[in-house]
A and B are shown apart, each in its own frame.
Chain A
Amino acid sequence: MDLVLDDKVQALRAEIRAFFAEKLPADYARKTLAGDKLSKEEHIHWHSLLKEKGWHVPLWPKEHGGPGWGPMERFIWEEESGLAGAPRLNHVSQDLLGPVLIEFGTPEQKAELLPRILSSEDWWCQGFSEPQAGSDLANLQMRAVRDGDDYVVTGTKLWTSYAHVSNKIFCLVRTSTDGPKQAGISFLLVDMEQPGVTISPIYTLGHSLSVNEVQIEDVRVPVTNLVGREGGAWDITKFLLGNERLMGAWIGVNMAFARQVRARLNETGPDGRPRSENAVLAQRVAEVETDLLALRYTTYRVLSDELSGKAPGPEVSVIKVRGGEIMQALTELLMEMAEAEGMVHPYHLPEGGPPVVPVELEHMAQQFFDKRKLTIYGGSSEIQRNIIARRVLNV
């Protein structure tokens, strides 16, 4: 046992920190840390800055343009990005689809699609959930019926993140209703810029826009857009989700929130006294900081297992549940400590003139309510507990 990261990893951490300090535009970091959103143009600009350094697709191997990092380097990257307030780039294309294409794609798919991700020409979204397939993903109904060299696709995807800024979608589609539900599902790439595809925004709490409904009606998709074999999507999906299994901890982002919480605790409150004199508040802050520390080292434990060749197991569910709960607790503290100024609706503020509340507080309430989704999506906390019960407790 050893708590110290090896020299190479520590050097990488220092290099990443130095890079962010030098290259990350302060405005992008401020917006990201304050729960505000960056425009697509700003994302693409940040992508170009990372590209100069070779860090624009951190999960990819060297031969496809990535840095060729292992799990520890990727995790350090994730941690430092979150902590610095680096925008999370076109994450679905780069972190989810890219590795899938590299692992399962045909040579033609790789040659055509990977460069388009690298150049930001393609922004992909992920078509998994459906109205009747949320927690029960295998229940999905979107049909793809083979007709000559095409599939004819019809169905509805729900809660599709960033569909409104994407031009393509990868979908789990039902190509067969025989046998086990999972075996009839295929992984299909669909161009959204064509007739028959309708994207409708879904506004979530605080009038946030990140998810959409995507309706696909009688859209012909060439068979060459199938990834892997027909009916083989379940393994691809497991691979894809595996790539973000430690991301559910949101360690870097949570550390950035914790830093803000601690800073506010040390400020003077409206009664002219430091907030830290409020014993209840000080205790709440210290407890969530401890929770975060415990989560961080649990994540490192999983990582160290992985490095010693052990396949990650149900402890990933521990990370997902706690990562979401801790972020909810931290953003709640931020909102509550900002008191009346933290309660404003960011889209109903006066236009022009000096800001009514400090700009870093404008999104505090919206941010807290937006984080409510964390324990619902990507396998709700109830589903994660089912996994633990089944796979650890054998009940």
Chain B
Amino acid sequence: MDFNYDDNQRMLFDTVDRFLSDKHDLATREKLLKDPAAEAALWREMAELGLMGAAFTEEEGGFAASMVDAMVVMNRLGRHLVTQPYLYTAIIGGRIVAGGMEGGSREAAIANVIAGEAQLALAAGSTHLMHSPQDTSFAATRSGGDWLVSGRMPVVLNGDRATRFIVAARTAGAVGDREGVTLFLVDAGKAGVSRRALRTIDAFGAAELVLENVALSSDNLIGPVDNAVPLVEAALDHGVVAVCNEAIGSMEYLVPATAEYTRTRIQYGAPLAKFQVLQHRMADMYIQTETAKSMALVAAMSLDGDAIERRRMASAAKVQVGRSAKFVGYQAVQLHGGMGVSEELDIGHHYIRLNVINQLFGDTAFHARRFGALTSPLPDQAAA
């Protein structure tokens, strides 16, 4: 057993951290929101640094020894509050491409991601934040040997920058059925595809996606027809663990930053840090961060193993991290007082992102239920 980074992971951690320390502060982040060219340039630099390759194993064409490497990257992206869609393109998109495609097209699609040329967005689920891929927003009908796909999804994460959408469409059954969902790879420029860009409250990019009778062939299929839910769920489990590790990077920053602020802020003739109630509050923030970190690491190390254990640990981590992140984020803002709610400091931005993370891919309640079902299945939950 070893919970420490190995040499390669340590080097990856330091490389990403140095790069982002140089390239990405709060002012840069604000600027990127208004400058798509600068966003694209940063993405290319991240690819040149090899970050995309950290999300793929050597067999897949990357250099990751395990999926833990990508989680090391996520930790640093969380620390630096980076809105780049590593989560959507390299991790979730990457898992679907690597897990569902075959042969030359798989190789090309992965190479595309690793080179920083592709942006992927998964359009699965409906108006929720993608915890249930069986709730589809799109439907596909057969037309000769081809498919016609239509539907609308209001908020597709990374939909604004996606060069290719991974669309979960219902090809059989009814909304909510685990069977009957099929994945299609849809080029953003294809006839019948339209999108309108927006941002979520955490400043990440997204888009409304509308497909109107988009004609697709079997070349566009990813994974088995009518049975894509397990593939999407596996990718989303990686997403769950990724945002858990992102949250850890964020919390590991917030705790000392809050302590530092209370050491320098004088009220009633003394630094805030002298008030014992605040000392204990910050000690609790630390306790929450450390326990959450343990679970985020366990879940990361469980990604490549047994599927049930992967899911169980992903859910356990999401519950622990969700609760911890809510507490740590809330208290970091509280102890910063007015400055905490100001956009001038990064503290409040971290708080927002941590709240969004809690919602992404199933919230605490969802994952607590899933953890329970996987730990001790009740008769009616055995299928879940």
Contacts and interface: CB of A to CB of B under 8 A. Distances in A.
Interface stretch (A44-52, A141-149, A171-179, A334-342): A334-342
Interface in A184-215: 202-207, 211
B300 to A, nearest CB: 25
Nearest to A375: B334
A280 B198 contact: no
A203 to B, nearest CB: 4
Interface stretch (B126-134, B228-236, B237-245, B283-291): B126-134
A336 B333 contact: no
A366 interface: yes
A284 to B, nearest CB: 8
Contact of B341 (A134, A339, A353, A372): A372
**Which among A271, A281, A377 has the highest number of chain B CB atoms within 10 Å?**
A271
Interface in A67-109: none
Nearest to B33: A348
A312 to B, nearest CB: 24
A134 B348 contact: no
B178 to A, nearest CB: 12
B200 interface: yes
A158 B126 CA distance: 43
B85 interface: no
B41 interface: no
Contacts of A381: 334
A119 interface: no
B338 A344 contact: no
Interface in B351-384: 351-352, 355-356, 359, 363, 365, 368-369
Contact of B343 (A136, A204, A272): A204
Interface string B315-335: 000000000000000100110
Contact of B198 (A336, A350, A369, A385): A350
A307 to B, nearest CB: 35
B95 to A, nearest CB: 20
Interface in B187-201: 196-201
Contacts of B145: none
Given A207-B343, A356-B196, A341 B154 contact: yes
A134 B337 contact: yes
B175 to A, nearest CB: 6
Contacts of A205: 341, 343, 348-349, 351-352
Contacts of A139: 267-268
Contact of A339 (B128, B352, B369): B128
A280 B129 contact: no
Contact of B359 (A278, A280, A343, A349): A343
Interface string B198-242: 111111001010000000000000000000000000000000000
**Which among A139, A369, A377 has the highest number of chain B CB atoms within 10 Å?**
A369
Interface residues of A, number: 48
B342 A202 contact: yes
A309 to B, nearest CB: 34
B328 to A, nearest CB: 14
B125 interface: yes
Given A343-B155, A372-B351, A380-B334, A132 B266 contact: yes
Contacts of B275: 382
B37 interface: no
B176 A344 contact: no
A344 B201 CA distance: 5
Interface in B251-299: 266-268, 275, 277-278
A23 interface: no
Contacts of B154: 340-341, 356-357
Nearest to A136: B267
A343 B356 CA distance: 8
Interface in A371-395: 372-373, 375-377, 380-382, 385
A365 B127 contact: no
Interface string B131-169: 010010000000000000000001100000000000000
Contacts of A365: 200-201
Nearest to A371: B341
B116 interface: no
B241 to A, nearest CB: 20
Contacts of A134: 267, 337-338
A357 B359 contact: no
A136 B369 CA distance: 45
B333 A372 contact: yes
A340 B128 contact: yes
Contacts of B176: 271-272
Contacts of B333: 372, 376
Nearest to A137: B267
Interface in B291-312: none
B332 to A, nearest CB: 11
A372 B333 CA distance: 8
Contacts of A207: 343
Interface string A278-290: 1011000000000
B155 A356 contact: yes
Given A202-B344, A356-B154, A129 B201 contact: no
Contacts of A132: 266
A28 to B, nearest CB: 24
A373 B356 contact: no
A375 B281 CA distance: 15
Contacts of B348: 204-205, 369, 372
A67 to B, nearest CB: 35
A270 B267 contact: no
A204 B278 CA distance: 23
Given A204-B348, A278-B365, A345-B198, 19 more contacts: A134-B267, A204-B342, A205-B343, A270-B132, A339-B129, A340-B155, A343-B202, A343-B359, A344-B200, A348-B33, A349-B198, A350-B196, A350-B198, A353-B196, A368-B355, A373-B338, A376-B340, A376-B341, A382-B334
23 contacts: A134-B267, A205-B341, A205-B349, A205-B351, A207-B343, A271-B128, A271-B176, A280-B369, A281-B365, A336-B359, A339-B129, A340-B154, A343-B202, A344-B198, A348-B33, A349-B198, A350-B198, A356-B196, A356-B208, A369-B201, A369-B341, A376-B334, A376-B337
Q: What are the 3 tightest A-B residue pairs by CB atom distance, in nearest-first order?
A: A348-B199, A365-B201, A350-B196
